[in-house]
Amino acid sequence: MLVAVAAAGLAGCATVYNLPGNAPLGAALADNNIARDLPDYQDDTLLALSFSGGGTRAAAFSFGVLQELDRARSGAGTKSLLDRVDFVSGVSGGSVTAAYFGLKRRAALDDFRERFLLRNAEEGLKTQISLGNIGRALGGGVNDSQFTNWLDRNLFDGARFDVLSSGRGPRVWINASDIYNRTPFVFDKTTFDALCSDIRPYRVAEAVSASAAVPLAFAPIVLETYPGGCAAPLPPWVDRVRGDPNAQPLLHSFAEALGRYRDGSMRYVKLLDGGLVDNYGLSGLSIGLLAAQRPYEPLNERQAARLRRILFLVVDAGRGVSGDFVQTLEGPNGVELVSAAADTAIDASVRSSYAAFTSLASDWSGKLKRWRCGLSATDRGRLGLGASWKCGDVGIYVERLGFDRLGPQRAGILNAIPTRFSLPPEQVDELIAGGADALRSSAAYQSFRRGL
Q: Which residues are catalytic?
A: 92, 273
- β pairing state of 268-273 and 171-178: antiparallel
The answer to whether the CB of 206 falls within 8 A of the CB of 19 is no
DSSP string over 54-112? -HHHHHHHHHHHHHHHHH-BSSTTPPBGGGGEEEEEEETHHHHHHHHHHHHGGGHHHHH
The answer to whether the CB of 156 falls within 8 A of the CB of 99 is yes
CA distance linking residue 161 with residue 204, whole number of Å: 6
Cα 294-298-300 angle, rounded to 5 deg: 80
Q: Residue 66: which region, alpha, beta or left (left: phi > 0; alpha: psi -120 to 50)?
A: alpha
CA distance linking residue 172 with residue 164, whole number of Å: 7
CA distance linking residue 415 with residue 99, whole number of Å: 24
CA distance linking residue 278 with residue 352, whole number of Å: 10
386-416: b (≥16 Cβ within 10 Å) or e:
eeeeebeebebbbbbbbbebbeeebbeebbe
DSSP helix/strand/coil, 162: helix
